[in-house]
Amino acid sequence: MTLKFGVVGTGAIGKEHIKRITSSLCGGEIVAVTDVNQLAAEQVVEQFGLNAVVYPDDKSLVAAENVDAVLVTSWGPAHEQSVLAAIEAGKYVFCEKPLATTAEGCMKIVEAEMKHGKRLVQVGFMRRYDSGYVQLKEAIDTHTIGEPLMIRCAHRNAKVDANYTTEMAISDTLVHEIDVLHWLVGDDYKSVQVVFPKRTKHALDHLQDPQIIMMETNSGITIHVEVFVNCQYGYDIQCEVIGEEGVANLPEVPSVITRKNATLGASILTDWKQRFMDAYDKELQDFMDSIKTTGEPNGPTSWDGYIVAVTSDACLKAQQTGNKESVTLGEKPAFYKNEKEISK
């Protein structure tokens, strides 16, 4: 069976996902597209030679009979409406992060999905599919470094455009760490705090860059994330877990090592699209495969999207207050628990 996708939002990542579904992955086809910029949607059909209808909006695309799954790659504030429309129509959804821009919006999605009675939604937190993070999780789960005590991370972009705001360091950038770190250690967050270090001269006046975000989990693991989006030198993702018996680092991206002019060198990527290319492939392939084999997507859930939204809301508050802010999550509904969690 081929899973027929309708795509909402044909910008940067929309095009990337269309490309991978049509040319490198198995079992998917793009049959519908829409974008608030209709011309962008039309161009994508031509660019990729798609046999797809261009719809005027997300509602008409979701309603199209031949659409089995909706790929939401519009900008963040538009996600909630498209995801709710898809759930209402009983269609599968792969939604790019964030699931919704507020915790209330995510909760509405959680409630709609539970009312539907079956999981339909997967959120695009692709780092869980990255082989480096998978190896790190295995090291933690098999107690290679003992109990994790502290985690140090960096999320660095070479530069960002003028639309990038101080809040986006949390809502666009840190959200990946919020998701992957609680998955890595199997623990939820208790509190967060944000510190603004000395500003780089490379940031525009409206932007506080870099930022340090400190998070504490329920079991007391302290996490320190540097978000630095004008670091100049590249796109660099670092993660070091310090345990009772040792330290585990996220593997560096493989690169040719050169020896030249008395220098030992390795190149660093500059584009986020390349850094997690394999993970994007794997998350979408898993989405299609799990729907085919079990009838439900297997990846990050709406509840994971909700956890990220609650935590990022607390970080946004902490940016304003400078204080430690608590993160309050309700009990995880049984609907979202896996077999291991249910048998606990």
- The residues binding ligand NAD (CB under 6 A) are 8-14, 34-37, 40, 58, 73-76, 78, 96-97, 124, 126, 172, 272, 276
Is residue 209 at the binding interface for ligand ISE, with CB under 6 A as the rule? no
For residue 344, with 0-12 CB atoms within 10 Å meaning exposed, 13-18 middle and 19 or more buried, which class applies?
Answer: exposed
Is residue 12 at the binding interface for ligand NAI, with CB under 6 A as the rule? yes
Q: Which of 10, 82, 173, 191 binds ligand ISE (CB under 6 A)?
A: 173
Is residue 176 at the binding interface for ligand ISE, with CB under 6 A as the rule? yes
For residue 263, with 0-12 CB atoms within 10 Å meaning exposed, 13-18 middle and 19 or more buried, which class applies?
Answer: exposed
Distance CA 146, CA 123 (A): 30
* Among 65, 57, 71, 58, CA closest to 21: 71
Nearer to ligand ISE, 148 or 305 (CB): 305
In whole angstroms, how close is the CB of 219 to ligand NAI at the nearest point? 28
**Partner from ligand ISE, ligand NAD, ligand NAI, none contacting 230, C-beta within 5 to 8 A by type:** none
Tokens of 285: 């392939």
| 250-257 long-range contacts, CB within 8 A, separation 24+ | 250/132, 250/133, 250/136, 251/131, 251/132, 251/135
First vs last Cα of the chain: how many Å apart? 36
Is residue 282 at the binding interface for ligand ISE, with CB under 6 A as the rule? no
**Partner from ligand NAD, ligand ISE, ligand NAI, none contacting 157, C-beta within 5 to 8 A by type:** ligand ISE
Q: Of the listed pieces 67-75, 155-163, 203-211, 287-295, which binds ligand NAI according to CB under 6 A?
A: 67-75
In whole angstroms, how close is the CB of 62 to ligand ISE at the nearest point? 24
Q: Is the CB of residue 244 less than 8 Å from the CB of residue 145?
A: yes
In whole angstroms, how close is the CB of 143 to ligand ISE at the nearest point? 30
Q: Is the CB of residue 302 less than 8 Å from the CB of residue 309?
A: no
- Give how far the C-alpha of residue 332 lies from the chain's centroid of Cα atoms, to the nearest Å: 20
Binding site for ligand NAI (CB under 6 A): 8-14, 34-37, 40, 58, 73-76, 78, 96-97, 124, 126, 172, 272, 276
Binding site for ligand ISE (CB under 6 A): 157, 172-173, 176, 272
